[in-house]
């Protein structure tokens, strides 16, 4: 079901991981950001859009995680954009003969049979200097940063102050570091991403994270501060005081604690190899 989050902006939330799909209404149709994760959800989304008389004229994937690069024939054949780095990562993955098996291995077992992979990851990379999505609708600014995944981008729908944050600023998921690039500093990369989001925080009235609850203007800086505190604790080897972990975690999201444990262990092993305190 679509619900309005701002004038001309609608959202649709998946059942399993609370993925937030964002629909931006334009002159001839809609921009669809990060569609849902199952075929049934995407068919429902397509049907809702048909009832509104709004075809999909463009798509955008905020980053190359499996649940953000899906598509379904019901949504049509509109161009699907992403940053150049996001698209390059997906081209690399799709060039492997066994890409479908590898992608399927990463799917949650609860929905593995329901996720359509035929159109998985077919992203058109925008030139690196592109600042806005090329489409006939409200200006949507691209804020690319190095946090979480290669070519990750947040989107600011400037006319109505909606920030589509991708997999950041969630009230259910902790910051997840980019461990795909072995040459980077995932802690510093994440902090860079938070600084870039902080730079537009004053222009945001509505925050839509990749997973979890939509927030108002008062939540933007609070969630940036919460994510930064978690990353600092992880960097410094301290136990984070974070409501998304432990007894205060949202029911059904207790597994987020396992993500934290894994990240802390990887950073500790990295510190041991480098001979730095951890």
* 167-190 pLDDT, tens digit each: 999 999 999 998 766 567 999 999
* 236-250 pLDDT, tens digit each: 999 999 999 999 999
pLDDT higher than threshold 60 for residue 278: no
User: Average per-residue pLDDT in the chain?
Assistant: 94
* 130-161 pLDDT, tens digit each: 999 999 999 999 999 999 999 999 999 999 99
For 3-274, the fitting CATH number among 1.10.8.100, 3.90.1640.10, 3.30.110.30, 3.60.15.10 is 3.60.15.10
Domain boundaries, the chain: 3-274
Query: Using 50, 70 and 90 to split pLDDT, how confident is the model at 275?
Result: low
Instruction: Please state whether beta strands 206-208 and 215-216 pair in parallel, antiparallel, or not at all (unpaired).
Output: antiparallel
pTM of the model: 0.94
Instruction: Please state whether beta strands 56-60 and 80-83 pair in parallel, antiparallel, or not at all (unpaired).
Output: parallel
Q: Which two tokens stand for residue 149?
A: 């995944």
pLDDT higher than threshold 60 for residue 99: yes
pLDDT higher than threshold 60 for residue 13: yes
Long-range Cβ pairs for the range 213-216 (8 Å, 24+): 213/18, 213/171, 213/172, 214/5, 214/11, 214/20, 215/169, 215/171
Tokens 């730095």 locate to 276
* 24-70 pLDDT, tens digit each: 999 999 999 999 899 999 999 999 999 999 999 999 999 999 999 99
pLDDT higher than threshold 70 for residue 129: yes
Q: Which two tokens stand for residue 158?
A: 């400037």
CA Rg value for the chain: 18
Query: Using 50, 70 and 90 to split pLDDT, how confident is the model at 268?
Result: confident
């Amino acid at each position: 079901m679509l619900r309005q989050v701002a004038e001309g902006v609608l959202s649709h939330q998946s059942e399993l991981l609370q993925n937030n799909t964002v629909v931006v209404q334009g002159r001839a149709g809609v921009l669809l950001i990060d569609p849902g994760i199952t075929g049934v959800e995407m068919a429902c989304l397509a049907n809702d859009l048909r009832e509104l008389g709004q075809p999909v004229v463009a798509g955008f994937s905020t980053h190359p995680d499996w649940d953000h690069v899906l598509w379904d024939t019901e949504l049509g054949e509109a161009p699907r954009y992403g940053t150049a780095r996001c698209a390059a990562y997906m081209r690399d993955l799709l060039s492997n003969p066994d890409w479908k098996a590898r992608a399927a291995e990463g799917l949650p077992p609860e929905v593995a049979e329901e996720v359509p992979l035929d159109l998985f990851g077919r992203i058109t990379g925008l030139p690196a200097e592109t600042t806005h999505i090329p489409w006939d609708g409200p200006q949507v600014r691209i804020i690319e940063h190095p946090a979480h995944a290669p070519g990750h981008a947040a989107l600011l729908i400037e006319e109505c102050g909606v920030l589509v944050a991708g997999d950041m600023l969630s009230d259910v998921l902790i910051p997840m570091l980019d461990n795909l690039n072995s040459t980077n500093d995932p802690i510093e990369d994440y902090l860079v991403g938070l600084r870039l989001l902080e730079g537009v925080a004053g222009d945001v009235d509505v925050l839509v994270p990749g997973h979890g609850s939509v927030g108002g203007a008062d939540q933007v800086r609070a969630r940036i501060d919460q994510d930064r505190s978690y990353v600092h604790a992880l960097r410094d080897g301290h136990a984070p005081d974070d409501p998304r972990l432990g007894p205060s975690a949202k029911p059904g999201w207790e597994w987020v604690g396992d993500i934290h444990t894994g990240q802390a262990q990887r950073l500790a092993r990295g510190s041991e190899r480098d001979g730095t305190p951890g």
